[in-house]
Structure 1
Amino acid sequence: MLHKKTKLAAVLIFLIAGTGSLFAQSLEETVALHGQAIDMIWLILSAALVFFMQAGFAMVETGLTRAKNSANVLMKNLMDFSVGSIAFWAIGWALMYGADALGLIGTDAFFLHYNAEGLAAYGAGSMSDIYRDWMFQVVFAGTASTIVSGAMAERTRFASYLIYSVFITALIYPVSGHWVWGGGWLSSLGFHDFAGSTVVHSVGGWAALAGAIVLGARKGKYIRTPEGIKVKAIPGHNLPIAALGVFILWFGWYGFNAGSTLSGSDLSIGHIAVTTTLAAGAGSVGAMIFSWILYKKPDPSMSLNGALAGLVGITAGTWVIGPGSSIVVGFIAGILVILSVEFIDKVLHVDDPVGAISVHGVCGAWGTLAVGLFANGVNDSSIVGLFFGGGLRQLGVQALGIISAFAWSFGTALILFLIIRYTVGLRVSEEEELKGLDISEHSIESYSGFQIFSNM
């Protein structure tokens, strides 16, 4: 009898132990599934916020240009993402995140085609992970592309602009992006660009510089006189729309920066949101104060661009720079954007109607360099800037990344725009520019029923 009881006790212990093991395994799987779900929701939500930035760009560019070109600006912003998303699906993603070749370029996953080995090499459990990551990355590609639209506004042929949109999202942006985010040579050196001050913004800004140079200035912008070149201001037609665009961009930037944690359970999201907010505010304040000193009045358009400058400036270091330093980074960006706009317009005589080169190219470079100055080891103890005892190495690597991105983006965009110029043509005729691109390129008026006078 005692032997039977012993056997029964052993069986019960075995069953209880087995159930506990199964329960533990089930709990572990449930926690993992919930973690994956949180990450999926966070990245898709962040992607939606970044996508909404396209509306912000459209409003800023429309407001800061003339009424007769509004529909053309809107069409370019629409097509930047529409054409660009297809190009990034077919080619761009593969060049940026495909299997690395010599640290320079990705070599597989064209058209998002993955086999089991490819998924394992990428670190994905299934195609759901790939689709999630692609969705988050394509909106960044769209942002890089649409930066150029404002700098080339009011005189670019629409068909020619579409050619550019395909090339930047299929080739220019993904290749330099691979160097940093795809496991390429810059990332192996320790270059840090958390959310894209250089990878996205400077690449777009330097491409904008190339486009504006090849395209030439708007008619009447620079007038030759015996005393020299006179610079004529060509005001935008709707400052309230531009202001709305800035607030939309600021809102979307929380997806841009905080979403770059790539995980909804990463507790540094709060830190990133704070540094993003403080830098944007400081950028606007810095631009307001400096414009007040320079122009004797606080300039609204410069103050708006100052907020964007602060946002661009903090994007690289938002994860590794403290709140106090983020204010310094943003404030300097707000001053720098005005100095850059003045220099590009009045010294270089490059016509950039919305200040895109200054906001994204110059302030993107500043923000990238700021990592090597202000990073304090928060969230990553290996990234420490000069002002916090990190020495010159990080600063040097950041500078190398800035120069490399400039050489690649400006160089390839310059070649692209020159080819377009001397083949299909890049610029509309003087008569078409006078009428406005809404009529000449799209046969429509943005403000039907209102008489729009040209301002040449």
Structure 2
Amino acid sequence: MKKILAYGACALAVLGATIDPSLAQDQAAVVTEAVVEAAPEFAKAADVAYIFNTLLFLIGGFLVMFMAAGFAMLEAGLVRSKNVSMQCLKNIALYSVAGLMFWITGYSLMYSGVDGGFMGSFGPYAFDPVGGNNLDTGYSTASDWFFQMVFCATTASIVSGTLAERIKLWPFMLFTVLLTGILYPIAGSWVWGGGWLKGMGFSDFAGSTLVHSVGGWAALAGALILGARKGKYTATGQVVPMPGSSIPLATLGTFILWLGWFGFNGASQLAMGTIGDVSDISRIFANTNMAAAAGVVVAMGLTQVLYKKVDVTMALNGALAGLVSITAEPLAPSVWQAVFIGGVGGALVVFAVPLLDKLKIDDVVGAIPVHLLCGIWGTLIVPLSNGDTSYGTQVIGILAYGVFIFVASAILWTILKSTIGIRVSPEEEALGLDKVEIGVEAYPEFGQGSARM
């Protein structure tokens, strides 16, 4: 009520001073008194916005963190039984490494002093979990760091699934250190840190390119240098199916990822302190959900037509394809546009998976079609609904990220391969990484039963 009275006093004061300038001094005193009296109400409104903005980061952050569980379950379901423990280990390890590296170098490289350039500054981001709580920022410093960190971890999760079943643990972890501590933050600074691509008008709302394509390019470079799993392709070019261990686990992982994506896209609004912001977040939720649903339906329909049977793994990846596709711009599209964008993503996966096999690029979980190709598609189609950018600018950004991440990743993978080696021996690959790398089998009873038979 005091705030309303203050606005009224200000309006009357301005009107009075306009009618009779000699009253200006008296009216100034009235305004001052009204504003001073209403100051606690103004402060309370700012406090409420600060609380809701911070809450958005925290809720969005733990939803995206839960996506780490989704990736773990998806990969555990799509690899063979002898490699399940390894995938679980890699996913909890890469999340932990990403958290440390994003504090040591990542956040500063991505956000500190970019100023239209190509990267920020090196050094730990010295945030205080109870500091940064002034109203100048509009949110808690620690909540922002946490939200940005879980995005960084998501990028590394994409690489894990592609290279499953034949890569050594420690070389993979070393690559994760460099990806999360240097490559991803530098790439992120170009847009989200206010870098050179941001100045050009490149747009990527929640990370179709900045997160998903970055992970996809790194995975593609690794897959080419690492090579396919032994026995995946015959000498004549035929593809040998290697079914995963558990479709229920893969399905659970997909649903977890779908749920986490509401935090991924919704919290990228970065504010929840006004009615407009909350309305936008709701729209983002709806578009995100519709794109994923369209991706599933299109993937199911195409596999039925092409193969006379619905492929459940294609349906799962269709959902993820729709989600990645809508991530570059989940707010501006109409519902029909969101359905179109997600549906095209689902179709891309159906056609890209067999194409990779023809090229003998072994991607165990289909991460390259889902995250790289659909990330490119989602970023390219942004101008369809968002007139603030152009197709030309989007293409420049896509190419810039592709060249930087692919070349840098290829160099790192090559160095690791020529020094410590990145691939297990054929004998170890046949036994499974659970036994030879970590000594813990995911299904020990099943393995013992098979040995007795």
Same fold by TM-score, threshold 0.5 exceeded? yes
Mapped pair 1:209 → 2:207: no
Distance 1:210 1:16 in 2: 68
1:375 maps to 2:385: yes
**1:445 is matched with which residue?**
441
Q: CA deviation at 1:84?
A: 1.2
1:358 aligns with 2:369: yes
Q: Which secondary structure state, in structure 1, belongs to the residue aligned with residue 124 of structure 2?
A: helix
What does residue 270 of structure 2 align with? 262
158, 162, 176: which one aligns with 2:169: 158
The equivalent residue for 1:29 is 43
Check 1:207–1:24 CA distance in 2 against 1; reply closer, same or farther (3 A cut): same
Task: Report the Cα distance in structure 2 between the residues aligned to 1:350 and 1:410, rounded to whole angstroms.
Answer: 15
Instruction: Percent identity, please.
Output: 43
Deviation, 1:102, is 5.5
Aligned residues of 2:77 and 2:245 also touching (Cα < 8 A) = yes
Does residue 170 in structure 1 map to residue 181 in structure 2?
yes
Q: What residue number does 1:10 align with?
A: none
SS of the counterpart of 2:140? helix
Gaps of 5+ in 2: 1-27
2:125 corresponds in structure 1 to: 112
Once residues 324 and 127 of structure 2 are traced to their aligned partners in structure 1, the CA distance between those partners, rounded to angstroms, is 34
| C-alpha distance in 1 between matches for 2:337 and 2:30 | 56
CA drift of 1:100 comes to 1.5
> In 2, are the aligned partners of 1:257 and 1:315 still within 8 Å (CA)?
yes
Among 392, 396, 399, the residue aligned to 1:396: 392
What's the offset of the Cα at 1:257?
0.2
Per-residue deviation, residues 134-176 of structure 1 (Å, max 9, x unmatched): 1000000000011000000000100111101101101111111
Q: Are the equivalent residues in 2 in contact too, given 1:243–1:304 (CA < 8 A)?
A: yes
Matched, 1:59 2:78: no
TM-score (norm 1): 0.88
Q: 1: CA distance between counterparts of 2:401 and 2:138?
A: 31
Deviations 1:85-134 (A, max 9, x none): 101100011111110165101025x211379xxx89xx984797321211
What's the CA shift for 1:415? 0.5
Tell me, in whole angstroms, the C-alpha distance in 2 between the residues paired with 1:368 and 1:311: 12
Q: Between 152-161 and 316-325, report the one with greater CA deviation.
A: 316-325
What are structure 1's unaligned runs of at least 5 residues? 1-13, 384-393
SS in 2 for 1:209: helix
Output the CA distance in 2 between the equivalents of 1:18 and 1:268.
Answer: 36
| Amino acid in structure 1 at the alignment position of 2:96 | S
Asked if 1:75 is matched to 2:89, the reply is yes
Equivalent residue runs for 1:411-426 within 5 Å: 411-426=407-422
Q: Write the letter of the residue equivalent to 2:323.
A: L
* Post-superposition offset of 1:233: 1.1
Displacement of 1:270 in angstroms is: 1.1
1:334 aligns with 2:346: yes
1:85 aligns with 2:81: no
Question: Residue by residue, what CA displacement relative to the aligned partner does 1:187-245 show, whole Å, maximum 9, x if unpaired?
Answer: 11111100000000000011000111111111100110xxx311111110100100000
Equivalent position amino acid for 1:94 in 2: S
Are residue 198 (structure 1) and residue 212 (structure 2) matched? no
Return the letter of the residue paired with 2:76: T
Change in 2 beyond 3 A, CA 1:331/1:128 = closer
The match for 1:284 is: 296
C-alpha distance in 1, partners of 2:268/2:300? 30
2:229–2:362 contact (8 Å) kept in structure 1: yes
How far apart are the structure 2 equivalents of 1:335 and 1:261? 28
Select the residue among 293, 304, 312 that pairs with 2:305.
Answer: 293
Deviations 1:291-348 (A, max 9, x none): 11111111111011000000000000112222111100111110101111111112x1
Could you tell me whether the CA contact under 8 Å between 2:116 and 2:199 is conserved in 1?
no
Corresponding residue number in structure 2 for 1:307: 319
Amino acid at match of 2:99: S
Whether the aligned pair in 1 keeps the contact of 2:68 and 2:91 (CA below 8 Å) is yes
Task: Provide the residue aligned with 2:12 in structure 1.
Answer: none
Does the aligned pair in 2 maintain the 1:43–1:264 contact within 8 Å? no
Query: Counterparts of 2:174 and 2:310 in 1: how far apart (Å)?
Result: 39
Pair 1:328–1:171, CA change in 2 (3 A)? same
Partners of 1:102 and 1:33 lie apart in 2 by 31
Q: Distance in 1 between matches of 2:259 and 2:108?
A: 30
Equivalent position to 1:230, from 238, 241, 248:
238
Output one character per residue of 1:8-48: Cα deviation in whole Å (capped at 9) or x when no partner.
xxxxxx99987743331110001101110111111101000
AA of the residue aligned to 2:110: M
Query: Is residue 2:113 matched to residue 1:99?
Result: yes
Choose the corresponding residue for 1:47, options 61, 66, 78.
61
On the 8 A contact 2:158/2:219 being kept in 1, the answer is yes
Q: What is the letter of the counterpart of residue 92 of structure 1?
A: G
Instruction: Specify the alignment match of 2:250 in structure 1.
Output: 242
**Secondary structure, aligned partner of 1:181:** coil
Contact 1:52/1:252, CA 8 A, preserved across alignment = yes
Structure 1, 14-23 or 34-43: larger mean CA deviation: 14-23
Q: Give the structure 2 partner of residue 349 of structure 1.
A: 360
Contact 2:74-2:254 at 8 Å conserved across structures: yes
C-alpha separation in 2, matches of 1:66 and 1:124: 51
Are the structure 2 counterparts of residues 376 and 112 from structure 1 closer, same or farther at C-alpha, using a change threshold of 3 Å?
A: closer
Cα deviation digits, residues 339-374 of structure 1 (max 9, x gap): 11111112x1010010001100000000001102x2
- Matched residue pairs, number? 417
Is the 1:147–1:356 Cα contact (8 Å) retained in structure 2? yes
